[in-house]
């Protein structure tokens, strides 16, 4: 069995690994660390959760220590690019842990935070910078940072950066970094665009791969529910409330939707069913996203609804289930989604909901990944639940659960069902617009009921048909503009 000591790492790095309790490298680490220590460019094909961060960070820390170059002004010695804020924070935390005894300075920058703070903390430069491409180019455009001092360039989750539209940003960064740098390129999949990007970034790279391209982790059990689109909410509530069993013991559940609004909608409906959940997506501020992740990590909220973009970088060992509430329209995203479970050597369960209009997505996933998803039966009482005869939750106070399929049009003048809400009376402003008295005389009407002339020209006047207009001498239907207008 190979140990980290056998890979040629320095003593400070080995001590940092020992403090974290790591002694045996993963396959990607075992293959990648020796050539990186030699200064070779590297192309790593590995799924998420296989230990890619340590594979490039450990040997790079050693190389930075040995070179003993000074920190460049307004620049960095090692640049790591990642697609999402969460992944940036995750890599930065690992870099600080691994380099704790190496004396290297680590900084991170992401969008959605103060640009001025980023300018200040990078003014004197840093050894290692982890960044999202957009924020990095913002600082470069402002002349607050440059890439002249980069010795090591790392692209992590490169396929996801292309999916997010960072291709032009990556090409611009490639033109700005020194040509004699070392480049480490990591991706879970290898589409044609990635191959073209690699040729522009790397020089004769060593290629390492721990799993075949676009395959899913072997420790993940994968299951499938065939269900109509408008029935998915009832099914997810039954599963999360333990009224319908699925394989595996629930610890933390990560649920994927395709859109931000879809994520918020699922959270809202789960809340109505008494099931606590948080959402994380691009419309959330960075503090909101970080708070949701912290609560998920601590177990305060065991259910997290996410979009593909926001979920990249979620490295939480306790995720027992990943549920694809909506199938991704890009098959590679399926690989990334279910890779959030079965981390740190644990097993995991992935469940997919497939509606009639998603069958093409399912076909693409099966063809691309080679995965066979075992079909699970719907609950015995599922049809009754969907039609409202077997509610998944008690109806809200004062309301009666009525099946959408049983609602019939009522004749005009029919009495309202018991518990229904009464129509609200129009407010004062609404009455004023209709030419009716707006409450007591003198209330917001200059002491006169609405609908009468407002007295003196330019004074406080009422509403109704007598509006005062500027420059008309205070005559009815054309007087001076009232002060209240």
Mapping DSSP onto H, E and C, the string for 319-384 reads EEEEEECCCCCCHHHHHHHHCCCCCCCCCEEEEEEECHHHHHHHHHHHHHHCCCCEECCCCCCHHH
Kindly state the DSSP code that residue 45 receives in the 8-state scheme: E
Residues 202 and 224 in one domain: no
Residues 53 and 124 in one domain: yes
In a domain, 442, yes or no: no
Helix (H, G, I), strand (E, B) or coil at 304: strand
In a domain, 435, yes or no: no
Q: Are strands 348-354 and 374-375 parallel, antiparallel or unpaired?
A: unpaired
Residues 253 and 388 in one domain: yes
HSE toward the beta carbon, residue 449, CA cutoff 13 A = 5
Residue 160: what pLDDT?
82
Tens of pLDDT, residue by residue over 31-63, are 999 999 999 999 998 876 678 899 999 999 999
What's the CA gap between 174 and 382, in Å, rounded? 54
Select the highest-mean-pLDDT range: 61-75, 377-391, 464-478: 61-75
Tens of pLDDT, residue by residue over 321-372, are 999 999 998 887 888 888 888 876 678 999 999 999 999 999 999 998 888 8
Query: Among 167, 170, 172, 174, which residue's Cα sits nearest to residue 203?
Result: 174
Q: Are strands 278-280 and 303-306 parallel, antiparallel or unpaired?
A: parallel
Specify which residues 226 forms β-bridges with.
Answer: 354
How many structural domains are present in the chain?
A: 2
What's the CA gap between 379 and 377, in Å, rounded? 6
Residues 52 and 196 in one domain: yes
Taking CA atoms, 140 is separated from 165, 236, 379, in Å, by 19, 46, 56
Helix (H, G, I), strand (E, B) or coil at 225: strand
Residue 418: what pLDDT?
46
In a domain, 472, yes or no: no
In a domain, 430, yes or no: no
Q: Which of 13-27, 191-205, 219-233 is the least confident region?
A: 191-205
In a domain, 408, yes or no: no
Helix (H) or strand (E) holding 220: strand 220-226
What's the CA gap between 305 and 315, in Å, rounded? 15
Residues 134 and 196 in one domain: yes
Position 125 confidence tier, pLDDT thresholds 50, 70, 90: very high
CATH number assigned to the domain comprising residue 85: 3.40.50.300
In a domain, 101, yes or no: yes
User: Cβ atoms within 10 A of the Cβ of 361, count?
Assistant: 22
Helix (H, G, I), strand (E, B) or coil at 42: strand
Q: Which residues of 384-410 are buried (b: 16+ CB within 10 A; e: fewer)?
A: ebbebebebeeeeeeeeeeeeeeeeee
Q: Which of 133-142, 277-286, 392-401 is the least confident region?
A: 392-401
Is 90 exceeded by the pLDDT of residue 218? no
Residue 206: what pLDDT?
95
In a domain, 431, yes or no: no
Residues 35 and 95 in one domain: yes
Q: Pick from 181, 209, 237: which residue ends a domain?
A: 209
Give all strands (DSSP E) within 367-457, no chain letters. 374-375
Specify which residues 152 forms β-bridges with.
Answer: 78, 182
346 and 219 Cβ atoms separated by less than 8 Å: yes
Q: Which domain holds residue 381?
A: 220-392
Residues 186 and 100 in one domain: yes
Residues 263 and 311 in one domain: yes
Residues 186 and 270 in one domain: no
In a domain, 96, yes or no: yes
Residues 289 and 375 in one domain: yes
Tens of pLDDT, residue by residue over 280-312, are 987 888 788 889 988 998 899 999 999 987 666
Residue 196: what pLDDT?
85
What's the CA gap between 239 and 270, in Å, rounded? 11
What's the CA gap between 153 and 181, in Å, rounded? 7
Residues 296 and 335 in one domain: yes
91 and 85 Cβ atoms separated by less than 8 Å: no
């Amino acid at each position: 069995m190979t140990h980290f000591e056998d890979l040629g790492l320095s003593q400070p790095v080995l001590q940092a690994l020992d403090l974290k309790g790591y002694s045996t490298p993963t396959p990607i680490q075992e293959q990648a660390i020796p050539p990186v220590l030699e200064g070779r460019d590297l192309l790593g094909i590995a799924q998420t959760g296989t230990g890619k961060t340590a594979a490039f960070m450990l040997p790079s820390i050693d190389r930075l220590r040995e070179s003993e170059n000074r920190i460049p002004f307004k620049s960095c010695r090692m640049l790591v690019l990642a697609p999402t804020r969460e992944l940036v924070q995750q890599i930065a935390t690992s870099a600080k842990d691994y380099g704790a005894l190496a004396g290297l300075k680590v900084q991170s920058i992401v969008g959605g935070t103060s640009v001025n703070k980023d300018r200040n903390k990078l003014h004197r430069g840093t050894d290692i910078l982890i960044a999202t491409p957009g924020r990095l180019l913002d600082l470069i455009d402002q002349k607050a940072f440059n890439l002249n001092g980069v010795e090591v360039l790392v692209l992590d989750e490169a396929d996801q950066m292309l999916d997010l539209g960072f291709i032009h940003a990556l090409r611009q960064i490639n033109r700005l970094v020194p040509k004699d740098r070392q480049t480490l390129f990591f991706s879970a999949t290898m589409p044609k665009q990635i191959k073209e990007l690699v040729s522009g970034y790397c020089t004769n790279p060593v290629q390492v791969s721990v799993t075949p391209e676009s395959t899913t982790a072997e420790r993940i059990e994968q299951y499938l529910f065939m269900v109509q689109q408008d029935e998915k909410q009832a099914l997810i509530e039954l599963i999360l409330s333990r009224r319908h069993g699925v394989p595996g013991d629930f610890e933390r559940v990560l649920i994927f939707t395709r859109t931000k609004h879809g994520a918020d909608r699922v959270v809202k409906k789960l809340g109505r069913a008494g099931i606590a959940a948080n959402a994380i997506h691009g419309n959330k501020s960075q503090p909101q996203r970080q708070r949701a992740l912290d609560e998920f990590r601590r177990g305060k909220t065991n259910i997290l609804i996410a979009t593909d973009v926001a979920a990249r970088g979620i490295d939480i060992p306790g995720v027992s289930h990943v549920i694809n509430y909506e199938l991704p329209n890009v098959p590679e995203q399926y690989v990334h989604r279910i890779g959030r479970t079965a981390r740190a050597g644990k097993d995991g369960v992935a469940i997919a909901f497939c509606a009639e209009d998603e069958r093409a997505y399912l076909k693409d996933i099966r063809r691309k990944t080679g995965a066979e998803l075992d079909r699970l039966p719907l609950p015995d009482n599922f049809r009754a639940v969907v039609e409202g005869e077997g509610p998944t939750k008690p109806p809200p106070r004062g309301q009666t659960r009525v099946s959408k399929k049983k609602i019939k049009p009522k004749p005009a003048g029919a009495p309202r069902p018991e518990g229904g809400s009464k129509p609200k009376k129009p407010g004062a402003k609404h009455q004023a617009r209709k030419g009716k008295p707006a409450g007591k005389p003198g209330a917001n009407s200059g002491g006169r009921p609405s609908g009468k002339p407002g007295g003196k020209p330019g004074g406080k006047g009422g509403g109704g048909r007598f509006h005062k207009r500027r420059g008309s001498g205070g005559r009815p239907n054309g007087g001076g503009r009232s002060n209240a207008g």
